Each structure stands twice: as C-alpha cells, then as structure tokens.
Amino acid sequence: MAVEQDSEIVDFLSTFTEDAEVVRLLYHCVGRILLKIKNSKRNWREAGLAVDLKDAADWLEVALLHKEDWLFKVDEHGRPKKLLKFADLDGILKEANKAMIKRAVQTPVIRIDEGEEVLEQVLGSGWYMVRLLTPRALDNESFEMQHCVGHGTYDTRVANGQVVILSLRDPHNKPHVTIEVDTRTNSVVQIRGKQNARPKAEYARRVRQFIRDRDYDSIYRPIEIGLVVDEMGKAHSIDNLPEGLAIKGNLDLSEYALTALPAFLEVRGDLKIAGSAIRDLPRGLRVTGSLLATKSRLERLPVDHGIARSIDVSSTMITELPDGLEVDGDLDISDTMMRRLPEDLVVTGHLKMESTDIPVFPASAVIGLNLFLSGSGIRRFEGNSLYVGGCLMMNNCGRVHFPERVTVERAMFMEKTEIASGAKVFEVGGNFYCQNSNFTTQSRKFRARGRVIDRREARTTEFALAMPLAQFERQFGVRD
C-alpha cells in the first residue's frame, strides 16, 4: 500500500530531477522531513532551499542506475529502509556525499583523447574553462573532483545537449570547479568544488569572471561563488555589497573572509556569518530571522541590533551584551569571554551560556525555556527565586549559591555541582538527575513529578537510553 504524499512537496522535489522514480525516493527521505517541518507550521520551502538537494537527487539517480542493493531492502510500503533512517536534511546530504566520494575514488583514471573535451574560454594567467563532451570525460572529472558528474548520470543529457558540463582548469590542466548549465533554461544549476564543497575563494573569483562574460538567465545558489542576489534579481559580489542591500530569504556568508557588512542591510530570513571576519554589525541592520554568528570575530552587539529572532554568538570575541536585551527566540553565548549577563535580559527560548566565566545570574533575567549552565563559572543566583520554563543543565559548576526557591518546569541535571546555600524550596516538573553532588531532600521542601536519579539509576532509565551517546557521556559518564 502506497503512502499518501503531499502534492506541494512532490512538486517542489520535482524541480531537482525529471526522473519520477528519483522524486519518489526523494520524498521518502527529504519529503518526509519537509512534511514534518510543514506540519509544525514552519517554512518548509525555505528549509529545503537552505541546503542543496540536487546532491541528494544525483545520489539517488546513481543508485538507481547501478541498482544498488539497499534499494531493494524495503518496508511494507515499498520504501527503502535506508531512506527512512535520516532525522534531518544534513544527514541525507552527508550520506549522499559519502556515497558519491566512495564511488568516485573507485573509478579508474581515464586517459582523455582528443575530442573528449573542448576549450570553452581562456580566463587569463594560464587558467581556462573546458567543456566536457563524452562519458569518459565526465567519469574522469568525477574521479578528480570526487563528486557525481560521472557514473552515467549525466551521459544522456550531455549527449542530447540538454546539459553542458564545464570544468575550471589551472595551468597544469587540473580541475578545481565543475559547473552544470541547463541549456533549456539558460541557467547555471550547479557549481561544485572538490567533494561537492563550496569552491575556494581563488577559484570562485575565476568562475565569477567566466559567468560575467556569459548571459545566463539565472544562477542557482550564487552565494557558492561569492555572488549575492538582491530582491530585484541583481547580483553583487560579496567584496562590494552596496548600502541598503535588501535580500529576500536567508543570506549565508559563513566562512567568507568578510570584515564588514553594508549599512542598512535588510535580510528577510536568517543572516549567517559563522566563521567570518566580521567584527561589528552595521547600522540600520534589519533581519526578520536569526543571527548565526558562531566562531566569527564579532566583538559587540548594539542595542538596536535589528535581529528579530534567535541570536547565536557562541565562540566569538563578544565580551558583553547591552542591558535590556530582548531575544524572541534562543540566545547562545557559550564559550565567549563575557563576564556578566545584561540586566533585564529577556530570552523567550533557550539560554546557552556553557563554558563562560559569568559568576552571577541576575534576578532580572527571564528565560522562557531551557537554561544551559554546564561548565560555566556560575557561583550564585541573585534574588529570592529562580524559575526555568524548561530544563536546567548544571554540570561541572562547582559550588553554587542558589536562591531560596528554585522551580524547574521540566528535568534538571546536576553533576559535579554542589549547593553552597539556598534552595530551601525545590520543585522539579520532571526527573532530577544528580551525581557527585551534595544534594539531599532533607531540610528543604522538595517536590519532583519525576524521580531523583543518581548515577547508577540513570543508566537504566528510558530517558537516558534515548539520549544521544555523546550527551549521555557528558552527563553520566560512559554508558554500559
């Protein structure tokens, strides 16, 4: 019996392949996850476009072409069990890339004869672009670049002229970037570095030079080569972004060596600058989604930061946040050099401040969901009460002075953490996991809707067994 499919998601997946059987398989892995996102009332299209699903489609097409064994291990609905194991889109793409790299390295090196490739354009300094003409040329490119352009998936489309495959070569004829052009729509549909990675900056600059000389109607994921397309469809180099730039959707500048963003930048989605060299946010910034700046060189967050949703500044150079900061989502300041939390801090989601040296948790702070303090320098909570709307994680915190009343709506974890004073009234809405602490229910009013579980008992609970192994080991030691 076939599983009912969401027609909108099927149509979306059909944009990545023309093969109906590939669409069916895509739905069982990618579509299943997009449907969960859709049912949770989140933007499933944006989630699908945030990753490159063309890689997943190519992987499945190669698997069908070579009749791989796992395709025939199905459940009662005829769905390959391998495709049902993935919990997120990133997991699917990692599996796809791993499979394509494995197949590519098993392909023998092929001698390219005259007529297999043709010079497309000279780019200067000995670099040039070639066009791949035959299955042998495609297989050789696949071997050198360790991706899926070979193995038969593109042979027919190249032969009948539907697709043009181009290869950026250095002066020694070594390939560095592979480009797929759909001739029917006159659009660039893929730009790939080795192992499907984003091309390095040096190679991306040469690809931009090539594309500027061509009149392509569109470029899929132009950010891969350092181009940002504004809401009017105009492309800008990331090295020269104009003031007042407006972006429809997410703007992903992760890992680029940018040092600044233009003033009055507007992003109608998430702004991702993880791993970048950006130190300050520009004046007039407006982001309708989240700021993802982990491992960047960001040094400060202004009061008028313009971020509408979550803020992740973990592992950055930030030393303080403005008083009165309100975050309508999650705030992650883990592994920063901050020494205090701002006064009147409001976080409607989770607050993560693990591996920080913040000693005092202010009474004015309001946290809507989970509070992560593990590995922090927290020493005391101000005020007479602490309320946590989700879970409280306090592992490896040493001796801590608690307020007189502690209320945790869900579970609490306390390992290698001792109560120096306070906590006369202690209420936990779920289980209370503790080890290597001095916690006792004596001399305090204690109530837990779950259980108090020490190290030995924690190993046998359903909750612990359901936890990811790495998380369990951090909290309870090695699982038996």
| Averaged confidence pLDDT in the chain | 86
pLDDT attached to residue 463: 42
Tell me the average pLDDT across 99-127: 73
Query: What is the torsion angle, in degrees rounded to the nearest 10, for the CA atoms of residue 78, residue 80, residue 85 and residue 89?
Result: -100
Indicate whether 199 pLDDT > 70: yes
Query: What is the torsion angle, in degrees rounded to the nearest 10, for the CA atoms of residue 89, residue 94, residue 95 and residue 97?
Result: 120
Tell me the average pLDDT across 420-444: 86
3-state secondary structure at position 366: strand
pLDDT attached to residue 462: 43
CATH of 230-476, one of 3.40.1350, 3.80.10, 2.40.50, 2.60.40: 3.80.10
Strands 266-268 and 331-332: unpaired
**Which structure tokens are listed for 339?**
């020494």
pLDDT attached to residue 212: 83
Each residue's pLDDT tens digit, 116-149: 898 888 887 888 899 999 988 988 888 888 887 8
pLDDT attached to residue 105: 61
**Which structure tokens are listed for 401?**
């002075």
Indicate whether 338 pLDDT > 70: yes
Tell me the average pLDDT across 243-253: 92
Q: How far apart are CA 473 and CA 187, in angstroms?
A: 49
For the ranges 88-102, 103-117, 236-250, the one whose mean pLDDT is highest? 236-250
Q: Which residue has the higher pLDDT, 342 or 469?
A: 342
Structural fold of domain 117-219: Aminopeptidase (3.40.630)
Q: How far apart are CA 187 and CA 229, in angstroms?
A: 15
pLDDT attached to residue 472: 44
Indicate whether 111 pLDDT > 70: no
Indicate whether 439 pLDDT > 60: yes
Q: Which residue has the higher pLDDT, 111 or 450?
A: 450
Which helix (H) or strand (E) segment is 478 a member of? none
Tell me the average pLDDT across 9-36: 91
Residue 84 neighbours by CB under 8 Å, 6+ apart: 28, 29, 32, 75
pLDDT attached to residue 41: 81
Indicate whether 293 pLDDT > 90: yes
pLDDT over 70 percentage in the chain: 92
Residue 86 neighbours by CB under 8 Å, 6+ apart: 29, 33, 92, 95
**Which structure tokens are listed for 382?**
């101000």
Query: Please, which residues bridge with residue 401 across strands?
Result: 380, 421
What is the full DSSP assignment across 439-463? --STTSEEEESS-EE-HHHHTT-HH
Which has the minimum average pLDDT: 102-111, 151-160, 345-354, 433-442? 102-111
The 8-class DSSP code of residue 111 comes to P
pLDDT attached to residue 113: 59
Tell me the average pLDDT across 242-263: 90
pLDDT attached to residue 106: 63
Q: Which residue has the higher pLDDT, 113 or 215?
A: 215
Q: How far apart are CA 379 and CA 396, in angstroms?
A: 12
Indicate whether 346 pLDDT > 70: yes
The pLDDT-based confidence of 475 (bands split at 50, 70, 90) is: very low
pLDDT over 90 percentage in the chain: 49
The pLDDT-based confidence of 479 (bands split at 50, 70, 90) is: very low
Q: Tell me phi and psi for residue 10, to 5 degrees.
A: -60, -45
Domain ranges of the chain: 7-106, 117-219, 230-476
Each residue's pLDDT tens digit, 158-190: 999 999 999 999 888 889 999 999 999 999 988
Using H for helix, E for strand and C for coil, what is the string for 130-188? EEECCHHHHHHHHHHHCCCCCCCCCHHHHHCCCEEEEEEECCCCCEEEEEEEECCCCEE
What separation, in Å, do the N-terminal and C-terminal C-alpha atoms of the chain show? 41
